[in-house]
Amino acid sequence: MPDADISPIRSALLHHRSAWTAWFRAVDGSVKEGVVPGGAEAAVLVRSVLQLPSKTSPTRLVSSVRQAFGIEEADRESATGAQGWAKVFLSQPTLFAQEHVFQVAAGSAPTSRRQLVLAHEIAHFFYACLEERANAASKPKKPYGTRTRQAEQFCWDFAIELSCPLEQQRKWTLAFLRDMLTPKERMLADTLSSHGLDQLTYWHLRRLASQYYLSIRAVIRALDHHPILDEALMGIAVFREIPNQWTGRETGLRLWQYARPSWGHIISNKRAAKQGFTSAGDIFDESTDQHTIVVPESLHLWRRKSNERAHWEMVRNKTACAYTTIDVKSEGRYLLAIWHWPR
């Protein structure tokens, strides 16, 4: 939200639509002062304010939220890049007033991803308000609306909750997922059965993504610490060619995202090979799109010591690891890894 040079944003929004007033009231009633709630929590409050039935389709839901909160969708032609955006600007002044205009665009996202990207961009307005509210007593460290890591996580969680509410996500079990697969997907998943990796595969993630209008990466975000990974005894990681996020240098195949069972952890930003994903580099360079290759690996994983929340030990985990390279038009190429992660 680079154009958000309005402070306070809250008063601009309150002026805009009554839904904002109702939402702020709901926030004030349930979120402590000085705290920015999670994106999912903020989205639940949006649902409750609009009283939308949980069965509303994601497409309807996103457009209802936009309308109720007075957020316009820009012309498709106005978005040039692959990234969506959210902007605030001033309308042409009329005789009586000049108003702030709140606008979002989904960039060149394909139809299946449009709703998710729009919901994410809408979330930036909600985040800006909550950040402003949390910092009301102090001077903000960064300008409102900056795309920090925290802001991005909030917006994805908000978007995921709108597309696929938590009560839906709680229904996900291995049996539920298996029933969702098409016969062809089931056949493809079954090719991994000799490695014991057929219960949760790229095809399961893809099916979840299309069922709920999510991206594969949004599904992985929803699966982090989800009970289904405890049930499957599995972990999921996404690697990508990126520079070190702290130094901005040393581009390499690094851990970009993960979904962990409740007892496990791996280290974000660290190179794939340094965590035992030794075949990742070659497979990333050579394999074709959406083709799964299984290789044995000896992974360095962290395990929570029993009953001690903050204590971790490093464990070497010899396991079969299923790698799938995925080319996404708007995001570039990434490598998915799914493996056994015993307790």
Which residues, numbered 299-328, are part of the site for Zn ion (CB under 5 A)?
Answer: none
Sign, CA dihedral 176-178-179-180, equals positive
Strand partners, 304: 312
Q: How is 271-328 classified by DSSP, letter by letter?
A: BTGGGT-TTHHHHHHHPPTT-EEEEEEEEEEEEEPTT-TT-EEEEEEEEEEEEEEEEE
Cα–Cα distance between 323 and 326 in angstroms, integer?
10
Which residues, numbered 7-46, are part of the site for Zn ion (CB under 5 A)?
Answer: none
When the beta carbons of 155 and 321 are compared against Zn ion, the nearer one is 155
When the beta carbons of 46 and 192 are compared against Zn ion, the nearer one is 46
When the beta carbons of 81 and 196 are compared against Zn ion, the nearer one is 81
When the beta carbons of 41 and 157 are compared against Zn ion, the nearer one is 157
Give the total of residues touching Zn ion (CB under 5 A): 2
Nearest residue to 250 via CA among 266, 274, 271, 276:
271
Nearest position to Zn ion, beta carbon: 155
Answer yes or no: are the C-beta atoms of 54 and 165 closer than 8 Å.
yes
Where does this chain touch Zn ion (CB under 5 A) — which range of 145-153, 209-217, 226-234, 311-319?
A: 145-153
Cα–Cα distance between 4 and 69 in angstroms, integer?
17
* Least distance between Zn ion and beta carbon 173 (Å): 31
Answer yes or no: are the C-beta atoms of 173 and 228 closer than 8 Å.
yes
* Least distance between Zn ion and beta carbon 118 (Å): 11
* Least distance between Zn ion and beta carbon 334 (Å): 18
Answer yes or no: are the C-beta atoms of 335 and 255 closer than 8 Å.
no
Answer yes or no: are the C-beta atoms of 324 and 335 closer than 8 Å.
yes
| Residue 147: half-sphere exposure toward Cβ, Cα within 13 Å | 11
* Least distance between Zn ion and beta carbon 124 (Å): 6
* Least distance between Zn ion and beta carbon 14 (Å): 23
Where does this chain touch Zn ion (CB under 5 A) — which range of 105-113, 147-155, 271-279, 280-288?
A: 147-155
Binding letters toward Zn ion, positions 148-167, x by CB under 5 A = ----x--x------------
When the beta carbons of 118 and 337 are compared against Zn ion, the nearer one is 118
Cα–Cα distance between 150 and 6 in angstroms, integer?
21
Residue 234: phi, psi to the nearest 5? -140, 160
Tokens in use for 117?
């990207």
* Least distance between Zn ion and beta carbon 155 (Å): 5
* Least distance between Zn ion and beta carbon 305 (Å): 36
| Separation of first and last alpha carbons in the chain | 42
* Least distance between Zn ion and beta carbon 1 (Å): 8
Answer yes or no: are the C-beta atoms of 339 and 278 closer than 8 Å.
no
When the beta carbons of 1 and 223 are compared against Zn ion, the nearer one is 1
When the beta carbons of 154 and 172 are compared against Zn ion, the nearer one is 154
* Least distance between Zn ion and beta carbon 84 (Å): 7
When the beta carbons of 157 and 297 are compared against Zn ion, the nearer one is 157
Where does this chain touch Zn ion (CB under 5 A) — which range of 146-154, 189-197, 243-251, 307-315?
A: 146-154
Where does this chain touch Zn ion (CB under 5 A) — which range of 35-43, 144-152, 209-217, 236-244?
A: 144-152
Tokens in use for 279?
């075949």
Beta strand 71-73 with 100-105 is parallel
When the beta carbons of 48 and 150 are compared against Zn ion, the nearer one is 150
Residues that bind Zn ion (CB under 5 A): 152, 155
